[in-house]
Structures are given as structure tokens and as C-alpha cells.
């Protein structure tokens, strides 16, 4: 017992003495960077030139194979997209197997096999690797690029392109891509509907036969194997892959503009703008500046929440939920981009702040404290990445592919720790170019462009479409004499059944089906005049979300909990959606409509009407000139098309006759109306295309008020 007490007393005295010697007002010096023990890898080159890298990891009985091509990027011209399709379709059929047979074989062994423009990835349990490699070799060596599968992929891509016109991030990305790199550079090409029209299976075969060669490829094997076994299986399955001459390509290096440019693209009806400040950067992989630049960018707006852009635009100004920056290094050419999304009214102020933060890093040294915070974060991220064997494999691949020093990654933390305040400022002065940048904005064309002119060196805002092409105003023809907003709407009301019929709708039930992730989902809609709404989304037999507007407040409940709104954009959107036949009384709800002209909608002449809600959000509605029916709607939320209008009957009983009249058999009059509703609705939004079918509509069934009471 005395011995224990003595130890406790000694420990206390030692701790007290140590505390007395410490001056906590002095920041301790960082310790030496830890030594990194990277996992081992081995490599060999096959007779056909294929270079193989093996990372042994026996912890789990799994093995993966990553095939990567190293070829110069190639322009695709008026068939942009075909190189991506070449990779995608290699898996869709071979000379010995159909797509279905490949899928079935992969599923049977529980494996993964995916192909893409620059390689193939496959993985499975170790005991199935022979089967997997047989499939992988078949896909690699014997693809047929089936015409029917190509057409399916083209049609899917074409549908996806329709969503871009209202997706601000996609629009900004396309504009930035074309303007940073140029239309004639491989990195500057954008897939459009027109380029899809020019893609053929022959183009895919020619590209495959020209560029998919073993002497420009690497195979990285990771997992439950070793180099001797790897040598054996590679010779078994890939020795027949024939080497060949692969063309080289060179392009002028894109350079930042001599003076700042502003590139704007319309985002239909947008309440917010996507903002990017961007320009090309020459920073090859393995360059001596890469780590220093990464530290500098992290301080500006990299992966740290304390990044200056985030702190300024979110925490201080409250303009956005997030703001980031990135400087990419690439063997051809990289780029700088700072990006965020803000409301229209502060778009120009946001640009001011981004440019200001870039200037501040150029002109003012950062503090030692902020530098150390970023280095600590990067240190931890790097250390965590080493837990994955695939990280070691990627390091090995980069060392081989880009001829990096063998200790390039082993000395990473030492290089990171040695970055100084002076280094950060030097990198900012070298790589940040606020006066030679391209300011890209996707936003509301009526509110934003004028506010951006002051940032342009020549005082002009260059206009582009959603795919980065020079913008042309939509072709609208004048409406005939005598046609007004009122006559267009009256024709619509008559086409769907007449105003009297619409006025007599007191409630409505709809059941709408669509397919998502291979399963049928259902939306059940209950609506009661004048302004109550309930929407239930059923997926996999479960109600995953319920939205209710009870005339006063909106609520959304689901697996993530429940939210209620009495104001804000969600509230306003549901409030408008809940109003029965809002088209007839739009002015009463503060909605402004303007007949703009006649547009071409997929070959159909249609009146285009702009609709501005009280919140300021804008929608374009299109009404068939011939039939009067609404066929399309465009807003920042997406594009919706309406078709296959079908009649639904309303029976309305008139006033009951008096007692004696009923005594002699007189009955109440019965009015029968038919109201037409679209039964095919296509919704394009958030990169998704949903084909919805209205399975059932019922009118005036007496929906109970309890349906519109929010669940507790």
C-alpha cells in the first residue's frame, strides 16, 4: 500500500514540476513528419508490352483487376461522346456472349465488371478469379458493339440531355468546359443531341481497334494473390492481346484570357445563380509545386470547412450553403475553379468576394496558425487513405505511368510539413489569376447579366446556351392578330372540358405510376378545393414520403422525420400546387402571365406564356396552337411534358324538386361533364427522366377533411 501511495505522490510531483516548466503561451514547434511505410508492390512487363503491378493483400479473400489505358486525348468533333460509348459498350456483347449472358455470369459469381472509356475494372472473391478473368478477357478482346445496345445508350443519353437546360451546375460546367479549353481541344468538347446523331457503331469499332492496345496499358492487381500467380494468370488470359502502334496527339496548351471575361448562360426561371471563377492551369502530375499548391488551395476553399470562401460566403455573408475551390493537376492541362450557388440578387456581390479572397492570398501572407490547421487536415486525410490497398496500387500506377521518383509518396508528409507561409503566398502569386479568369454564371437572364458587366475587361457579357455554344435567342414568331393571352387560355379551358366543368370540381384523386431503380413507384394525390393537397409517394410497397398542404401550412414527413413550413420556397411551391384549377384565377394569387409568341416544341407550334409567381420564380408554359392543350412546362425545377389527354366524367346533380314534384316522380336534373387530363407526364429534373402514367382519376368523391391533417 505504501508503495502505491509513493507512486501516486511521485506521479503528482512529476506532473506538477513539468507543468511549472511549461510556458503555455508559446505554441509548441511541430514535430518531425512521420515516416510513411507504404505497402510493397511488385511489377513486371508482359511480352506484348502490358505492364502489370501487383499489390498483395491477404486480409480478405478478394482480388481486383484494374486495366488502364495511357493514350493522348483525342478530339471527337461532330460525334462528341463516341469514345465514352466505346468503353461503355465493350461490356454489352462479345463474339461469344450476349449482354444478358455476361450479366448472368457476373451475377452468378457475385462479381463486379465495368468498362469505361479508359479501361476496365473487375473484382470477385478469390475462388472465382479464373471465371472472372475469362469474362474480363472476353470483354476486352472480343467486343462486338451491338447496334441495338448503342441505340439504347444514345436514347438514354438524349433523354438525360433534356435535364441539363434547367440544371445550373450542368450548364455552368458545360460553359466552363468550352471556354476554358476551347471547342477544338479534347477537354473542351460537350455532348449534344446533334453529336449523338453522328455516333455509329463503326466509329466505336475503329476507336477500339486503334487505341485499345496492351503496349499503352497497365494492369493493377490488388488483393489475395502474389506476383508469381499474377504472372501465370496474366499469361493465361491476356497473352493473346496483340500490341500495335497507337497514334499520338498534341494540342496548343489553353491559356488564361489576357483580360477577365464573363460568360453567362440562361437557367430557365432561376431564383439562384451557379457561379464559377475559372481558367486553365499548367500543373503536371508530380510537379514540385503540387503539394504547395494543394495547401494554398485548401486555405482558399479546399476540403476544409474553415476555407476562406466558405467562411466568407456562408458564415459571414450568408449567401450560400457551400463554396469551394480546386486546382487540378493533369498531364495535359488542368484548371482552377472556385464555385458556389447563390440567389440572383447577390450574384455580383459573390463574384466580388471570390475575387477579393484570391487577391488577399496573393497580397497578404497567411497566419502560421491557419497554415498548420490545413496541414494537419491534409496529414490526416493522407494517413487515412493509406488504409486502403487500392491507394497503394494507385500510387504504384502513378509512379510508373508518370515516371515519378520511387519515394514520391513515401516522402509526401515530409514535403507537406515543410510548406511555409512564404510558399503559400508564392503559390498564390503564381497560380491565382483573378484578373485573367473566366467568370461563368448560369442564372436568370432577365436579372443577372447586367450586374456582371463591370467584371469584364471589355464591359461585355458573352452569352452561351446550356451546352456552351454561342447563345441564340429562341425563335419566336408573332401571334396572329386577335390572339391574346385570354383567347389562348379560353381555348385551353374549352379543350379540357370548359370553365363550368372545372368550376364544379370539388375534389380529385389521382394515382400515378413511374419506374425508379427497377421498381414501380406510385404517387397518390388527393386534392380538395380550394387549396388542400396531399401527396403520398409509395416505393417498394412502403409510403416513403407524405406531403400535405392544409390551406395554412405545408408539411413533409418521411423516413428522415418531419418538417413543417409556413413560409419559404417549399411553402410557396406547395401552396401554389394545392390550388384547384389555379389557371382560371391566376391574377387573384399574384401570378403574372405574358403571351410571348409562338415557339416550336418538337415540331408542334405552341403559344409560349411566361408565368411569374409571387416569389419571383419563372415558368414557361406551352399550349398547342391547334388543340389548345398544354403540352410543356419549363422552370428551374425541370422540364415537364404532357400528352395523351383522356376524359374523366363529372356528374353534378341539380337542385332537388319540391315535395309534390318528387311525389309525382320528378327527379333532380343531372349535368354530366367531361374533363380531360393528361395521362402521360414526363418529368426531367436533377439529371433524371421520369416517365409517369396516370393510372386512375376520380372526381368529386367526397374526400374527407382528415386526409389533409398533418400526421404527428
- Evaluate if residue 53 carries a pLDDT over 80: yes
Same domain as 621, residue 559: yes
Same domain as 219, residue 152: yes
Q: Total domain count for the chain?
A: 3
pLDDT of residue 27: 46
CA–CA dist 512, 692 (Å, integer): 6
- Evaluate if residue 413 carries a pLDDT over 70: yes
Domain CATH for 355: 3.30.830.10
Overall average pLDDT of the 443-469 stretch: 94
The average confidence (pLDDT) of the chain is 89
User: Looking up cell 391574377, which residue turns up?
Assistant: 587
In this prediction, what percent of the chain has a pLDDT beyond 70? 91
Q: Does residue 294 sit within a domain?
A: yes
Residues 544-566, buried b or exposed e (16+ Cβ, 10 A)? eebbbbbeeebbbbeeeeeeebe
Overall average pLDDT of the 129-142 stretch: 97
CA–CA dist 431, 437 (Å, integer): 11
Overall average pLDDT of the 470-490 stretch: 92
pLDDT of residue 380: 86
Same domain as 569, residue 496: yes
Overall average pLDDT of the 162-185 stretch: 93
Same domain as 669, residue 577: yes
pLDDT of residue 626: 96
Neighbours of 684 (CB within 10 A): 23
Q: Does residue 74 sit within a domain?
A: yes
Burial class (CB in 10 A: 0-12, 13-18, 19+), 651: exposed
Same domain as 307, residue 175: no
Mapped onto helix, strand or coil, the DSSP state of residue 213 is coil
Mapped onto helix, strand or coil, the DSSP state of residue 151 is helix
Lowest mean pLDDT among 39-53, 233-247, 414-428: 39-53
Domain finish residue from 204, 238, 272: 238
Same domain as 499, residue 426: no
Overall average pLDDT of the 632-648 stretch: 89
pLDDT bracket for residue 243 (50, 70, 90) = very high
pLDDT bracket for residue 18 (50, 70, 90) = very low
In this prediction, what percent of the chain has a pLDDT beyond 90? 68
Same domain as 651, residue 510: yes
pLDDT of residue 542: 87
Q: Does residue 365 sit within a domain?
A: yes
Same domain as 326, residue 189: no
- Evaluate if residue 406 carries a pLDDT over 70: yes
CA–CA dist 269, 213 (Å, integer): 48
pLDDT of residue 519: 78
- Evaluate if residue 19 carries a pLDDT over 50: no
- Evaluate if residue 8 carries a pLDDT over 60: no
Nearest to 323 by CA among 344, 300, 355, 345: 300
Q: Using alpha carbons only, what angle is made at residue 153 by residues 332 and 198, rounded to the nearest 5 degrees?
A: 70
Overall average pLDDT of the 378-382 stretch: 87
- For the stretch 697-707, pLDDT in tens is 999 999 999 99
CA–CA dist 361, 377 (Å, integer): 19
Domain carrying residue 704: 485-708
* DSSP H or E segment with residue 624: strand 618-624
The angle, 0 to 180 degrees and rounded to 10, between the axes of the packed helices 421-431 and 368-385 is 80
Specify the DSSP class assigned to residue 711: P
Same domain as 219, residue 367: no
Q: Does residue 102 sit within a domain?
A: yes
Q: Does residue 143 sit within a domain?
A: yes
- For the stretch 534-592, pLDDT in tens is 999 998 888 899 999 998 999 999 877 888 888 887 888 888 889 998 989 899 989 99
Same domain as 225, residue 185: yes
Lowest mean pLDDT among 20-34, 129-143, 306-320, 330-344: 20-34
Q: Does residue 512 sit within a domain?
A: yes
- For the stretch 506-541, pLDDT in tens is 999 999 998 876 778 999 999 999 999 999 999 888
pLDDT of residue 30: 52
pLDDT of residue 305: 76
pLDDT of residue 16: 34
Lowest mean pLDDT among 40-44, 159-163, 394-398, 517-521: 517-521
Overall average pLDDT of the 619-646 stretch: 92
DSSP β-bridge partners for residue 684: 639, 689
Burial class (CB in 10 A: 0-12, 13-18, 19+), 210: middle
Domain CATH for 639: 2.50.20.10
Q: Does residue 473 sit within a domain?
A: no
Same domain as 335, residue 216: no
Q: Does residue 4 sit within a domain?
A: no
pLDDT bracket for residue 38 (50, 70, 90) = low
Same domain as 119, residue 62: yes
pLDDT of residue 5: 31
* DSSP H or E segment with residue 323: strand 323-327
Backbone φ, ψ for residue 694 (5° rounding): -80, 110
- For the stretch 652-693, pLDDT in tens is 666 666 655 556 666 655 678 899 999 999 887 666 778 899
> Please, which residues have CB within 8 angstroms of residue 393's CB and are 6 or more apart in sequence?
41, 53, 55, 66, 220, 222
Amino acid at each position: 500500500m505504501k508503495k502505491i501511495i509513493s507512486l501516486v505522490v511521485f506521479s503528482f510531483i512529476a506532473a506538477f514540476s513539468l507543468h511549472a516548466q511549461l510556458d503555455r503561451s508559446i505554441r509548441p514547434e511541430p514535430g518531425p513528419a512521420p515516416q510513411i511505410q507504404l505497402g510493397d508492390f511488385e511489377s513486371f512487363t508482359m511480352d506484348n508490352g502490358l505492364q502489370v503491378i501487383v499489390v498483395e493483400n491477404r486480409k480478405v479473400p478478394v482480388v481486383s483487376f484494374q486495366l488502364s489505358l495511357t493514350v493522348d486525348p483525342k478530339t471527337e468533333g461532330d460525334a462528341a461522346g463516341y469514345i465514352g460509348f466505346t468503353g461503355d459498350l465493350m461490356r454489352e456483347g462479345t463474339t461469344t456472349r450476349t449482354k444478358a449472358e455476361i450479366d448472368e455470369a457476373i451475377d452468378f459469381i457475385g462479381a463486379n465488371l465495368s468498362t469505361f472509356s479508359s479501361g476496365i475494372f473487375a473484382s470477385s472473391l478469390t475462388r472465382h478469379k479464373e471465371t472472372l478473368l475469362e469474362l474480363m478477357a472476353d470483354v476486352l478482346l472480343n467486343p462486338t458493339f451491338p447496334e441495338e445496345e448503342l441505340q439504347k445508350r444514345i436514347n438514354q443519353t438524349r433523354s438525360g440531355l433534356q435535364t441539363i437546360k434547367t440544371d445550373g451546375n450542368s450548364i455552368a460546367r458545360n460553359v466552363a468546359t468550352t471556354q476554358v479549353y476551347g471547342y477544338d481541344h479534347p477537354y473542351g468538347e460537350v455532348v449534344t443531341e446533334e453529336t449523338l446523331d453522328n455516333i455509329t457503331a463503326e466509329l466505336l469499332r475503329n476507336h477500339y481497334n486503334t487505341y485499345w492496345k496492351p503496349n499503352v496499358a497497365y494492369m493493377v492487381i490488388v488483393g489475395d494473390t502474389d506476383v508469381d500467380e499474377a504472372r501465370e494468370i496474366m499469361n493465361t488470359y491476356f497473352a493473346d492481346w496483340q500490341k500495335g502502334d497507337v497514334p499520338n496527339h498534341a494540342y496548343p496548351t489553353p491559356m488564361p484570357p489576357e483580360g477577365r471575361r464573363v460568360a453567362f448562360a440562361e437557367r430557365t426561371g432561376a431564383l439562384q445563380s451557379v457561379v464559377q471563377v475559372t481558367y486553365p492551369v499548367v500543373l503536371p502530375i508530380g510537379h514540385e509545386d503540387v503539394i504547395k499548391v494543394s495547401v494554398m488551395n485548401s486555405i482558399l476553399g479546399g476540403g476544409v470547412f474553415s476555407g476562406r470562401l466558405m467562411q466568407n460566403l456562408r458564415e459571414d455573408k450568408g449567401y450560400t450553403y457551400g463554396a469551394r475551390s480546386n486546382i487540378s493537376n493533369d498531364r495535359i492541362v488542368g484548371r482552377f475553379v472556385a464555385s458556389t450557388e447563390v440567389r440572383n440578387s447577390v450574384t455580383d456581390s459573390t463574384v466580388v468576394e471570390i475575387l477579393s479572397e484570391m487577391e488577399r492570398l496573393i497580397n497578404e501572407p497567411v497566419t502560421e496558425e491557419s497554415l498548420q490547421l490545413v496541414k494537419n487536415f491534409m496529414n490526416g486525410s493522407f494517413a487515412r487513405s493509406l488504409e486502403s490497398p487500392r491507394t497503394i496500387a494507385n500510387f504504384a500506377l502513378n509512379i510508373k505511368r508518370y515516371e515519378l521518383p520511387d519515394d514520391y509518396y513515401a516522402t509526401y508528409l515530409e514535403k507537406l510539413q515543410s510548406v511555409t507561409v512564404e510558399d503559400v503566398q508564392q503559390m498564390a502569386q503564381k497560380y491565382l489569376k483573378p484578373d485573367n479568369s473566366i467568370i461563368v454564371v448560369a442564372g436568370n437572364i432577365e436579372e443577372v447579366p447586367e450586374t456582371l458587366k463591370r467584371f469584364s475587361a471589355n464591359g461585355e457579357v458573352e452569352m452561351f446556351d446550356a451546352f456552351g455554344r454561342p447563345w441564340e435567342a429562341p425563335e419566336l414568331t408573332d401571334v396572329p392578330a386577335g390572339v391574346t393571352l385570354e383567347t389562348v387560355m379560353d381555348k385551353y379551358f374549352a379543350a379540357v372540358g370548359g370553365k363550368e366543368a372545372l368550376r364544379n370540381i370539388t375534389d380529385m384523386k389521382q394515382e400515378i405510376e413511374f419506374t425508379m431503380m427497377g421498381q414501380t413507384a406510385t404517387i397518390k394525390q388527393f386534392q380538395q378545393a380550394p387549396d388542400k393537397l396531399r401527396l403520398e409517394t409509395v416505393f417498394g410497397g412502403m409510403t416513403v414520403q407524405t406531403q400535405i398542404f392544409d390551406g395554412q401550412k405545408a408539411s413533409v414527413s418521411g423516413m428522415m422525420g418531419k418538417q413543417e413550413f409556413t413560409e419559404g420556397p417549399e411553402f410557396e411551391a406547395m401552396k401554389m400546387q394545392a390550388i384547384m384549377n389555379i389557371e382560371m384565377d391566376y391574377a387573384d394569387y399574384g401570378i403574372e402571365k405574358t403571351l410571348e409568341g409562338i415557339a416550336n416544341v418538337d415540331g408542334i407550334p405552341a403559344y409560349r406564356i411566361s408565368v411569374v409567381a409571387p416569389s419571383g420564380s419563372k415558368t414557361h408554359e406551352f399550349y398547342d396552337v391547334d388543340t389548345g392543350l398544354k403540352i410543356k412546362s419549363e422552370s428551374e425545377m425541370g422540364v415537364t411534358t404532357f400528352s395523351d389527354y383522356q376524359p374523366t366524367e363529372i356528374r353534378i346533380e341539380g337542385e332537388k324538386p319540391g315535395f309534390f314534384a318528387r311525389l309525382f316522380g320528378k327527379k333532380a336534373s343531372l349535368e354530366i361533364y367531361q374533363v380531360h387530363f393528361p395521362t402521360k407526364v414526363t418529368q426531367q429534373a436533377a439529371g433524371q427522366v421520369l416517365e409517369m402514367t396516370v393510372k386512375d382519376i376520380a372526381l368529386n368523391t367526397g374526400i374527407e377533411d382528415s386526409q389533409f391533417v398533418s400526421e404527428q
